[in-house]
Amino acid sequence: MVVGAGIVGACTALAALDRGFRVTILDPGPPGGEQAASFGNGCWLSPMSVIPPAVPGLWRKVPGFLRDPLGPLAIRWSYLPRVLPWLLAYLRSGATEDRVLRTAQALRPLLRDTAALHKALAERAGVAGLIRRDGLMYVYPTREDYEAEGLGWRIRRAVGLSWKEIGPEEMRQLQPELDRRYGFGALFEEGGHCTDPGAYVAALVAQATAEGAVLRAAAATGFRVEGGRLRAVLTGQGEILADRAVICAGARSKALAAAAGSRVPLETERGYHAVVRGAETGPRIPVMPSDGKMAITATRAGLRVSGQVEIAGLEAVPDWRRAGILRDHLLRAFPALPRNLPEDGVSFWMGHRPSMPDGLPCLGHARATPDVVLAFGHGHVGLASGPLSGEVAAALAAGVAPPVDLAPYNPRRFT
């Protein structure tokens, strides 16, 4: 039983089929639908994304996060008492360069060859055109601005990543429509992107069902475990017999993990995106401007700009001003875009990144039984790490050695 039909669930289902399992995929919503984080992510398939959100000195900015509801990272006052333990652990995890390096070393195996792995999955599902391997760019006004973020680039190099530095002349050739204030960049040629993450996830799930998996529209509520072995997954529609289960329900995995005996500090980092439909200009290669930390990517639906982190829990209503900030940043980055977009020319979205405080997912067996596997908490790298995470989850369910060392992702690391 695969609980969750997001990118990790879809990859897990396909990997489990490859290992000979009979697979049921359980999710109350449509695969790839707008309710899912997989629908609205930043589209990037980036092995470069090894730097966790928390870095040394971030704690000094917390008062500003509380004062400014529209900053790039905001914390709602009403949610602060509940999230404070998670927030303190989050800040501690990036308190020193050594800790950030350890996180990067742990993330590197999950992100290695991500574009190639996704391309293979897309070909299997008959949607190879949804995965592009054109590279990814980080852009800065000047080389000095790039060098000011030296910690991140030092750590990327330390874990074996490489990139090409781009000066002003080549920048104009690669990104002719980008605002000319950006004169320096880092081009990561091994990166890629997905032009329609929702459709891609839906296609992977459809491929799994074509290969024999069963998709059921129901929400898991718990597990029946007898004698230390899983007997059934509980749902609002009754029991479903199962002898293995993988929890990959994104930001809603916390209660399910607790039902399997594992208490984990999972939180939601709410992210937003804006899509400008019918844009006649934009990046030739997906780009992240340093002054916005927002990914700008051409997709089938239009020009998507994504980012922002808001700590406010699962139930708080969206603050659509945050999506408006993304739209405005996009307009500044690509000045040829029309200033007065019609109401039906732009769409906003908000979703829930499932995040652990140390920037690493939970991949391992549940405390109550080895028959339940935890595979969630991927934060900002869910899409990119989906293929390897699915292989790991399927290996754990099969009781065989996974393809990577799981020590950094052990769900018990917080206890």
Please count the other Cβ atoms lying within 10 Å of the Cβ belonging to residue 370. Answer: 16
In the chain, where the domains are located: 2-414
Q: For the chain, first and last CA: distance in Å?
A: 27
DSSP code string of 229-297: EEEEEEETTEEEE-S-EEE--GGGHHHHHHHTT-----EEEEEEEEEETT-S---SS-EEETTTT-EEE
pLDDT at 68: 86
Q: Which residues contact 238 (CB under 8 A, 6 or more apart)?
A: none
pLDDT of residue 71: 86
Residue ranges with strand state E in 24-135: 24-26, 44-45, 73-75, 131-132
The pLDDT score that the predictor gives to residue 69 is 85
pLDDT on residue 294 = 93
Residues 165 and 190: their CA atoms lie apart, in Å, by: 14
Q: Retrieve residue 50's tokens.
A: 């090894």
pLDDT at 292 (0 to 100): 85
Going by the DSSP 8-state scheme, the letter that residue 318 receives in this structure is P
The residues pairing with 274 across neighbouring beta strands, listed in sequence order, are 305, 348
Residue found by looking up tokens 């209660």 in the block? 255
pLDDT at 64: 87
**Residue 88 contacts by C-beta under 8 Å, 6 or more apart in sequence?**
none
175 CB burial (10 A radius; 0-12, 13-18, 19+): buried
What is the full per-residue pLDDT of the chain (415 aa) written as tens digits?
A: 999 999 999 999 999 999 999 999 999 999 999 999 999 999 999 999 999 989 999 888 888 888 888 888 899 999 999 999 999 999 999 999 999 999 999 999 999 999 999 999 999 999 999 999 999 999 999 999 999 999 999 999 999 999 999 999 999 999 999 999 999 999 999 999 999 999 999 999 999 999 999 999 999 999 999 999 999 999 999 999 999 999 999 999 999 999 999 999 999 999 999 999 999 899 999 999 998 889 999 999 999 999 989 999 999 999 999 999 999 999 999 999 998 888 889 999 999 999 999 999 999 999 999 999 999 999 999 999 999 999 999 999 999 999 999 999 999 998 7
**Angle (CA) 78 84 90, round 5°:** 130
Q: Which of 40, 336, 352 is nearest to 196 (CA)?
A: 40
pTM: 0.97
Cα 93 to Cα 107: distance, rounded to the nearest angstrom: 14
Please state the φ and ψ torsions of residue 184, each to the nearest 5 degrees. -145, 145
Q: What is the pLDDT of residue 171?
A: 96
3-state secondary structure of 333: helix
For the structural domain made of 2-414, what CATH number should be given?
3.50.50.60
